[in-house]
Structure 1
Amino acid sequence: MTTRTATARYEGFGKEGKGRLDSPSGVLDATPYGFNTRFGDEKGTNPEELIAAAHAGCFTMALSFALAKAGFSEGSLETTAAVKLEQDGDGFTITHSDLTLKAEVPGISPEQFEALAAGAKANCPVSKLLNAEISLTHTLA
């Protein structure tokens, strides 16, 4: 079992509050977040961006391992995840994570690639965590 942690600190409340995120690895080091980084264009991050990064990374790694297990050792994968936050009554809900994959895997058939990518989408731990619709579009060079 692996456990990872992060800490969020928020000072003040609502739109006027300011937050920061920290992680033991140092990747997040007093990284600012708040209303204006989430809904505006202020420099910093937001939960949806972090979920998108986690989903893109998890899916891409899962597909990489599936390809290696199937005997492929050359190529590249690049995935963008677009996480959608939508109004839900008085609050908000993350409704979608749309994965867009560009792949280069010499020697793989489109059918085998499709099957491995679908398996990675369904089985990466972040996909399993999300209570949202997940789509996958891909191009195979």
Structure 2
Amino acid sequence: MSIVKSGSATYKPLGKQGKGSISTETGALSNHPYGFNTRFEDGKGSNPEELIGAAHASCFTMALSLALADAGYEDGELKTTAQISLDKTDDGYEISQSALTLNAVVADITEDKFRQIAQDAKENCPVSQLLDTKITLEFKLTAQ
């Protein structure tokens, strides 16, 4: 059985002059603006890359949190940023990378053990598996 969640988008008129809005079924975003100016210029609103970044950062962080707890580490805090790279190509644009940067405070864990669990979470969180791009992970582990 699948768990199905949804997001939606509208855009009108067509082209660079168009304006759009995005919404999520939970209402976390409701008719939030996006468009050419929010993606390629400094317009107010969102864009697909920051939404992918938020999705990837949250998925990876949750996967890592659960994996650490399963390994017996329950005291700590994780904060992740995912920088999504959008590059111009001869054929248009492509998302070339998701760079995860993690600041972690985890009690009583070695750096080697943390690296092993974090790399596994990076490779196996559902959003990492969905993205067909290079995914990097840098972390700073602070002893508690």
TM-score range, shorter chain: over 0.9
Q: Structure 2 counterpart of 1:114, which letter?
A: R
Tell me what 2:104 maps to: 103
Tell me what 2:9 maps to: 8
Alignment of 1:14-25 (within 5 A): 14-25=15-26
Alignment of 1:36-51 (within 5 A): 36-51=37-52
**Structure 1 runs not aligned, ≥5 long:** none
Give the count of matched residue pairs. Answer: 141
Q: Could you say what secondary structure the match of 1:16 adopts? A: coil
Tell me what 1:92 maps to: 93
Q: Structure 2 counterpart of 1:116, which letter?
A: I
Q: Could you say what secondary structure the match of 1:56 adopts? A: helix
RMSD: 0.6
CA distance in 1, matches of 2:97, 2:66: 25
Alignment of 1:44-123 (within 5 A): 44-123=45-124
**Structure 2 runs not aligned, ≥5 long:** none
Identity across aligned pairs (percent)? 51
Structure 1 residue 90: Cα displacement: 3.4
Q: Structure 2 counterpart of 1:38, which letter?
A: R
Q: Could you say what secondary structure the match of 2:16 adopts? A: helix
CA distance in 1, matches of 2:138, 2:8: 33
Q: Could you say what secondary structure the match of 2:85 adopts? A: strand
